[in-house]
Amino acid sequence: MINQSRFEQPIKKANIYLIGAVAAMAGLLFGFDTGVISGAQEFLFQTFEVGSRSSALRGFVVSAVPLGALLGALVSGFFAKQLGRRKSIMMTAILFLVGTLAAAFAQNLGSVVFGRLLMGLAIGISAMVVPMYLSEVSPAKVRGTIIFLFQLAITLGLMSAFAINLGFAEWIHDTATNWRWMFGMGVIPSILLFLGMAWMPRSPRWLMLKGRKDEARKVLQYLLGKTDVSDCMEEMEESLKHEGGRDWGALFRKPLLPLILMTFGLFVFQQLSGINAIMYYGPEVFASSGFGEKAKFLAQLSMGLINVLATIFGVWVIDKLGRRPLLFIGFIGMIVCLGILSFCLASNGAYPSLSLSSTLLYVVFFAISLGGVPYIMMSEVFPLKSRSAGMAIASCANWLFNMLVSFSFGILVDKLGGMEHVFMLYAGCTVLGLIFAWRYVPETKGRHLEEIEHNLYEGKKPLRYLGNPVDHKEFEQPLNAFLKKEEEALSCCKN
Ligand code: BGC
């Protein structure tokens, strides 16, 4: 039964933040492995003599990671449910390690592609399972902050990739080996992720799903720092009564279908905002804005740094301001910045400083909103029994549209006749995203996962109001009626 006092429980913050930091190591690898190719590709293609005309082959090497990630997202629900959240993350650490070694020691391009596909597979699985695990071990008060740590780790990974790219390109001129070192750096976080996760607790909600109540109780006692956790156990048992599980059809009916569409849509708009056109093709964009050879890499690195700093701000405010206000501020800021960037690009490099500042500000607005909120939303709104499947579908949107945007960028620049038009197109998509968020995204700040689930089933609340406080009367009336009936039945027996 849902009871307000439960949300005032003491939290063992140190435990939660430690878990957040270890699991988020997967985010670091996500950012690093997607970002490192922007610097490594030039040397890699020189080593294997891939000419600039073999654009399909080049494109295939670059997009092997998003392709692997799409496959990973497709199977992520299966692993999260069968193997469990913690073991699935440990499995991705092994995939990250093997993929990194295969790419770093590759003797031909095929092995590089194989290694990058494995890395992608690991990214696709972990980008779904890590936020899910974090949402299931964190108390409502700090849940947004903890999941946002995953996004922070992605940005740290991207920034380290940009820094390593610049360092190796500038100071290590042995083109036959420097790309191997660039890839190889991923070995350290992979080992740390594996060892760290081996010490972390399992998700109590997954344990309940598997009927392992005693273990779930122990984990809750550890997380909450108290021995009496019966109220939380009761809530989780309550949520297991809802439909879901093997019933895939339920995902495409009410009340789950709107959740699928909302989380899927958030990732579509995250990618259509053009963030990865800037992350993956940053140096080219800066060159078109009038930057020189070295300056374009420095500009990319400063963008990586700003991304990290703004995400730290996001981590700090997400559970104070809430998801919706951050989304709106972010969307509006991004639209304005994309417009200014497009103007700068149209003026043929006449305003390099304005173009750099609008790009950096765009990244700030992305980082505090669309960067983390889709991951948070997909981990919060799905009921326990359908969580794996629902989140897997939302993650597919992430990778499908990531591939679409990163693959189509060059083609669109040619077809539309310049980068300025492509960025205007992203601005248009972001306007649609703003309207979408306004109409459909709920505010879930401070809500317990089981409260959200209660609002969905018993409360029958529309999508937008899923995060509203639970109407206790609405829950207590049927319960009181039930208790009265029981009492009557008992008194009949006594008589
Ligand atoms: C997105 C990535 C993007 C990164 C940039 C993440 O939320 O899913 O595609 O590269 O943010 O910080």
| pLDDT grade for 4, boundaries at 50, 70 and 90 | very low
What per-residue confidence (pLDDT) applies to 196? 95
> CA-CA distances (angstroms) from residue 363 to 13, 263, 349?
30, 22, 20
**Is residue 35 within 8 Å of 375, Cβ to Cβ?**
no
- C-alpha of residue 371 to centroid of ligand 1, in Å: 6
DSSP 445-476: TT--HHHHHHHHHTS---GGGTTSPP-HHHHH
CB 464 within 8 A of CB 303: no
Please state, rounded to an integer, the average pLDDT across all residues of the chain: 87
267 CA distance to ligand 1 centroid (A)? 10
Ligand 1 contacts (CB < 6 A) are 151, 154-155, 158, 270, 275-276, 279, 307, 371, 398, 402
Q: Which atom of ligand 1 is nearest to the CA of 372?
A: 7
pLDDT at residue 37, rounded to an integer: 85
Mean pLDDT over 313-326 rounds to 94
pLDDT of residue 88 exceeding 90, the answer is yes
Q: Does residue 75 register a pLDDT over 90?
A: yes
Nearest to 73 by CA among 397, 373, 401: 397
Q: Ligand 1, from 28, 151, 308, 311: best to mutate by most atoms within 8 Å of Cβ?
A: 151
| CA 239 to centroid of ligand 1, rounded, Å | 32
Position 492 confidence tier, pLDDT thresholds 50, 70, 90? low
Q: Which is nearest to 157 in space by CA: 136, 140, 182?
A: 182
The residue to mutate among 130, 270, 400, having the most atoms of ligand 1 within 8 angstroms of its beta carbon, is 270
What pLDDT does residue 403 have? 87
CA 486 to centroid of ligand 1, rounded, Å: 54
pLDDT in tens, 404-451: 898 888 889 989 999 999 999 999 999 999 999 999 999 999 998 889
Among 33, 154, 268, say which to mutate for ligand 1: greatest number of ligand atoms within 8 Å of CB. 154
pLDDT, tens only, 130-185:
999 998 888 778 888 888 899 999 999 999 998 987 887 777 777 788 889 889 99
Share of the chain above pLDDT 90, in %: 53
DSSP codes of every residue in 152-221: HHHHHHHHHHHHHHHHHHHH---TTTHHHHHHHTTHHHHHHHHHHHHHSPPPHHHHHHTT-HHHHHHHHH
Sign of CA dihedral 450, 455, 456, 457: positive
Q: In sequence order, which residues have a C-beta less than 8 Å from that of residue 381 and are 6 or more positions away? A: 259, 262, 263, 390, 442, 444, 452, 456, 466
- pTM, entire model: 0.84
